Structure 1
């Protein structure tokens, strides 16, 4: 059975969220041994080796003058800001809580896609996404415990990542996804080197920490590639809700790795978020049946 571009994009987004959550879990575990700048630098070094070798093998390298392309530069800016603020947040708060705050991203992206790009969003999908946002509010419980400065960092990361994802669709199709990933990783690694000393300087890492960061680099590569392919495959407003699955992965890993036990509001909110994502997929399948097949085509993915 041939999948529609939006369904295919949603599946790639689900894989990307599992990969990024695994990376977040490793990062949080290692943050007790080294600061975030050092983690970005070391992990980025491993990632650049992997991505560079793969890009060379697939002949996906391009001149660095491609950075002059406005959307690519803006995507790099959003990635740097989003990575730095989110890693600082998860290092100082429960992984599931930070992930819950981050689930505001699909709502912001959907609004941006409708206002900036004019993408059609039916009332049923808007209702499903709104229900998911309500689930986020149930988990965060604003006004009861209040937001710490680290919660604000997670919210700032949402803003950076919304910019990153909205401009990804406007990057010229002739630029391979692997090249975009390589440029993004290089920029984030450089940013880690810049903030290394303001955040506490270099600490000699243990062998286990280096091994974990090398593994994290593999998951970052998978996550980057799946995200780019997802956003190039389907409508942003259709694939964005699948980011909600990151919350489910975060609850599971937080429980088994860090011993964080979700309470009743956390479980209830997570159930609403996952249900909204599943319902969005259901509505997307119905919409694909009702419209001509040609109108559902998307950009062909590059890279992986």
Structure 2
């Protein structure tokens, strides 16, 4: 469990570092650079471990889809934390397991039980509570964390499709390798859109360094969480994902002065309660329909 706690906490630290780039470079460009660094670094490790033979492309259409949806989730999440308190964006991101359950019913024809629907209704009630002040201030941009959660939900579905088709390292290489071109395209489109906040100039050295640092820490964090699942059951590890929310709350208060009000805390608690209840139901009546919990897409 210590491995899981360290891994999930590291993801929130990365999110906090990404938030520090707000106003210095567009979220689209930050995401593109972070995943470019990640793809190159992970591919180098794969080559060192397995040589050319390690580079395979099983189920290529699903791999492209994984890259697209993690790119979508990352752009939405990075843009969200540029605009919103870190803890609120992170809390909304945790609706992805419920969305995965609903999408599995719609796309994979799996049965969505009452517990999926109950958890989804409770979670989205929490989302509405958390979004209450942000919609008034930000308009439709306040829905960016939901876009990220949707992207992560689709990613989880395609992760299931490609499970057991290659090593964990190969799967990381492929998702980063396909995400990077999509993110570069998004940054390019944003730059030429005429929308000033998406204009991509030459970044400061500190921005490049922070993107590289997050690429390393995020990849390491995912590896630590994977290692944790080899030492304890996934069922034991899953609830540990919520340490991210606690870390995000602390980072937001200490470094960005984001102190949530009681209503926002209550909304976040509803989302967490829905996720934990869904996890608990999975232990009582295990079914394929109950999706795994994931962290943020950094």
Q: What TM-score, normalized to structure 2?
A: 0.73
Q: Secondary structure at the match of 2:260?
A: coil
Q: Give, in whole Å, the separation in 2 of the partners of 1:227 and 1:109.
A: 20
CA deviation after TM superposition for structure 1 residue 204, in Å = 3.7
Q: Secondary structure at the match of 2:200?
A: coil
Check whether the contact 2:126–2:267 (CA below 8 A) recurs between aligned residues. Answer: yes
Number of matched pairs: 277
Check whether the contact 2:47–2:54 (CA below 8 A) recurs between aligned residues. Answer: no
CA deviation after TM superposition for structure 1 residue 171, in Å = 0.7
CA deviation after TM superposition for structure 1 residue 265, in Å = 0.9
**Aligned equivalent of 2:295:** none
Q: Which runs of 5+ in 2 are unaligned?
A: 193-197, 293-298
CA deviation after TM superposition for structure 1 residue 239, in Å = 8.7
**Aligned equivalent of 1:255:** 253
**Aligned equivalent of 2:61:** 70
Q: Give, in whole Å, the separation in 2 of the partners of 1:212 and 1:134.
A: 35
**Aligned equivalent of 1:112:** 103
CA deviation after TM superposition for structure 1 residue 264, in Å = 0.3
**Aligned equivalent of 2:209:** 211
Matches within 5 A, 1:88-107: 88-107=79-98
1:183-219 CA distances to partner (integer Å, 9 max, x unpaired)?
222233333433254332332413x433322221123
Q: Give, in whole Å, the separation in 2 of the partners of 1:63 and 1:252.
A: 40
**Aligned equivalent of 2:151:** 160
Matches within 5 A, 1:111-130: 111-117=102-108, 123=114, 127-128=118-119, 130=121
Alignment partner of 1:202 is 2:193: no
Counterparts in 2 of 1:274 and 1:61: CA distance versus 1, 3 Å: farther
Alignment partner of 1:141 is 2:126: no
CA deviation after TM superposition for structure 1 residue 101, in Å = 3.0
CA deviation after TM superposition for structure 1 residue 159, in Å = 2.5
Check whether the contact 1:129–1:241 (CA below 8 A) recurs between aligned residues. Answer: no
Q: Secondary structure at the match of 1:216?
A: helix
Counterparts in 2 of 1:63 and 1:248: CA distance versus 1, 3 Å: same
Q: Give, in whole Å, the separation in 1 of the partners of 2:109 and 2:66.
A: 20
Counterparts in 2 of 1:21 and 1:247: CA distance versus 1, 3 Å: same
Q: CA RMSD in A?
A: 3.9
Q: Give, in whole Å, the separation in 1 of the partners of 2:171 and 2:96.
A: 21
Counterparts in 2 of 1:116 and 1:225: CA distance versus 1, 3 Å: farther
Check whether the contact 1:60–1:178 (CA below 8 A) recurs between aligned residues. Answer: no
Q: Secondary structure at the match of 2:156?
A: helix
**Aligned equivalent of 1:295:** none
Counterparts in 2 of 1:120 and 1:234: CA distance versus 1, 3 Å: farther
CA deviation after TM superposition for structure 1 residue 78, in Å = 0.8
Q: Which deviates more from structure 2 when the two are superposed, residues 24-33 or residues 90-99?
A: 90-99
Q: Give, in whole Å, the separation in 2 of the partners of 1:221 and 1:258.
A: 25
1:61-97 CA distances to partner (integer Å, 9 max, x unpaired)?
6676616522212111111222222222222222223
Q: Which runs of 5+ in 1 are unaligned?
A: 1-7, 292-297, 299-304
Which of 8, 17, 27 is residue 26 of structure 1 equivalent to? 17
Q: Give, in whole Å, the separation in 2 of the partners of 1:50 and 1:211.
A: 14
Check whether the contact 1:241–1:280 (CA below 8 A) recurs between aligned residues. Answer: no
CA deviation after TM superposition for structure 1 residue 268, in Å = 1.8
Counterparts in 2 of 1:97 and 1:282: CA distance versus 1, 3 Å: closer
Alignment partner of 1:50 is 2:49: no
Q: Give, in whole Å, the separation in 2 of the partners of 1:226 and 1:118.
A: 33
1:264-288 CA distances to partner (integer Å, 9 max, x unpaired)?
0122223333344444444444447
